[in-house]
């Protein structure tokens, strides 16, 4: 049944994108036609009611892509990671712009006939988690607790015929979680499938939280504008890509054009950390990757991530991974299960 749902979604999209559909171990992929553009859409279905789609496409011409497969009654949680799009439901007639790093919740059925507008010439990276309303209500009929309970309330909020689209706030945390999904596509084993599902549930949970913050008018947890948040995102990416650089507040402010106060506020909002905490965490995570995937010795790893004190590195590494770098490397070489990292 989940395979049929995934196929149904992609066949509906393929009427517009005119590509080829393939399937490998439960993950369906639509490679769009070369005369339409480049890129692909991945689709995977979990349990009886949850569908995840990942768009990563660049189009030759503007396209109007259907949100829904025929005869499906879906609530979509969407997030724009790169580029920008616009959504229109039939009864409104107007397209609503969805910016980079922005969330939205869309209730789409046969009557509303939602369309996603994607402009030509831009890379469009878009995450969609869809809940089949009818199947969900059947599957979790008596569950009012945790994520299921919150989701059921939300379904009722959108299912009363009064609301079909909610344009949400900018949320950088969800963007970071979506990037985690890309790493899971590198493997096709059952463990990767389960991790993929777990991350999708994490994204869904944060989407629901964001919706209720918006509804309660508590989403303004930062005074930064959307453009300023995107600058914070760019600075974060720079730190991740170049952990060896000595990232001083002054140099990061100069790079972003933001004041020290705005820089710190943005990092607290996006990552729940100060700038220095974020840099330290990026370095220790990069160090773990190097210990796990290369033959570099510990001193070489310390130098590669921009640290100068081996003793300090060992201290922060042990705080995060509950063992010393030497023990960690030894476990990897001996193929022993590696410890879970602290947050």
pLDDT at 310: 92
pLDDT grade, residue 8 (50/70/90)? confident
**% of the chain beyond a pLDDT of 90:** 31
The CA distance from 80 to 226, in Å, is 13
Q: What is the mean pLDDT of residues 236-259?
A: 93
The CA distance from 119 to 115, in Å, is 13
Conformation bin of residue 25: beta by default, left when phi > 0, alpha when psi is -120 to 50? left
CA geometry: angle 143, 148, 152, nearest 5 deg: 85
pLDDT at 220: 45
Using N-to-C axis directions, what is the helix angle for 190-215 and 146-158, rounded to 10°? 50
pLDDT at 93: 65
The CA distance from 58 to 118, in Å, is 9
**Residue 326 predicted with pLDDT over 70:** yes
The CA distance from 59 to 196, in Å, is 27
What would the pLDDT profile of 279-324 be if each residue is shown by its tens digit?
A: 999 999 999 989 988 889 999 999 999 998 999 999 999 998 889 9
Q: Are 194 and 27 in contact (CB under 8 A)?
A: no
pLDDT at 89: 77
**Residue 70 predicted with pLDDT over 70:** no
What would the pLDDT profile of 140-189 be if each residue is shown by its tens digit?
A: 666 555 556 677 777 777 766 556 788 887 777 788 788 777 666 545 55
What would the pLDDT profile of 230-243 be if each residue is shown by its tens digit?
A: 888 889 989 999 99
pLDDT at 243: 93
The mean predicted confidence, pLDDT, of the chain is 82
What would the pLDDT profile of 76-101 be if each residue is shown by its tens digit?
A: 889 998 898 888 876 556 788 888 88
**Residue 111 predicted with pLDDT over 50:** yes
The CA distance from 279 to 167, in Å, is 32
| pTM of the full structure | 0.69
Long-range contacts of range 270-273, CB-CB < 8 Å, 24 or more positions apart? Answer: 270/172, 270/173, 270/176, 270/229, 270/232, 270/233, 270/236, 271/172, 271/173, 271/176, 271/236
pLDDT at 235: 93
pLDDT grade, residue 12 (50/70/90)? confident
Domains of the chain: 2-215 (2.60.120.10), 226-333 (1.10.10.60)
| CA nearest to 148, candidates 197, 208, 198 | 208
Q: Are 11 and 28 in contact (CB under 8 A)?
A: no
**Residue 56 predicted with pLDDT over 90:** yes
């Amino acid at each position: 049944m989940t395979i049929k749902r995934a196929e149904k979604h992609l066949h509906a999209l393929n009427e517009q994108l005119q590509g080829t559909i393939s399937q490998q171990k439960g993950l369906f992929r639509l490679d769009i036609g070369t005369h339409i553009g480049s890129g692909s859409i991945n689709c995977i279905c979990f349990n009886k009611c949850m569908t995840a789609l990942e768009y990563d496409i660049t189009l030759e011409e503007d396209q109007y892509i259907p949100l829904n497969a025929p005869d499906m009654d879906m609530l979509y949680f969407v997030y724009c990671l790169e580029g920008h799009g616009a959504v229109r439901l039939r009864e409104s007639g107007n397209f609503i712009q969805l910016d980079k790093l922005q969330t939205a919740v869309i209730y789409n059925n046969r009557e509303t006939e939602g369309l996603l507008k994607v402009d030509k010439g831009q890379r469009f990276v878009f995450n969609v988690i869809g809940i089949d309303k009818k199947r969900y209500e059947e599957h979790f009929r008596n569950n009012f607790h945790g994520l299921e309970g919150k989701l059921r309330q939300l379904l009722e909020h959108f299912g009363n015929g009064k609301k079909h689209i909610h344009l949400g706030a900018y949320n950088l945390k969800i963007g970071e979680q979506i990037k985690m999904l890309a790493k899971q596509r590198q493997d096709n084993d059952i463990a990767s499938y389960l991790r993929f599902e777990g991350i999708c549930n994490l994204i869904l949970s944060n989407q629901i939280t964001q919706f209720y913050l918006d509804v309660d008018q508590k989403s303004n947890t930062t005074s930064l504008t959307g453009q300023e948040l995107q600058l914070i995102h760019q600075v974060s990416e720079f730190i991740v890509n170049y952990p060896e650089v000595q990232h001083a507040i002054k140099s990061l402010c100069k790079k972003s054009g933001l004041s020290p106060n705005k820089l710190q506020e943005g990092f607290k909002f996006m990552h729940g950390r100060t700038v220095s905490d974020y840099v330290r965490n990026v370095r220790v995570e990069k160090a773990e990757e190097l210990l796990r995937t290369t033959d570099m010795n510990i001193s070489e790893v310390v130098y590669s991530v921009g640290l100068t004190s081996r003793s300090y590195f060992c201290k922060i590494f042990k705080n995060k991974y509950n063992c010393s770098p030497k023990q960690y490397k030894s476990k990897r070489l001996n193929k022993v299960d590696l410890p879970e990292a602290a947050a």
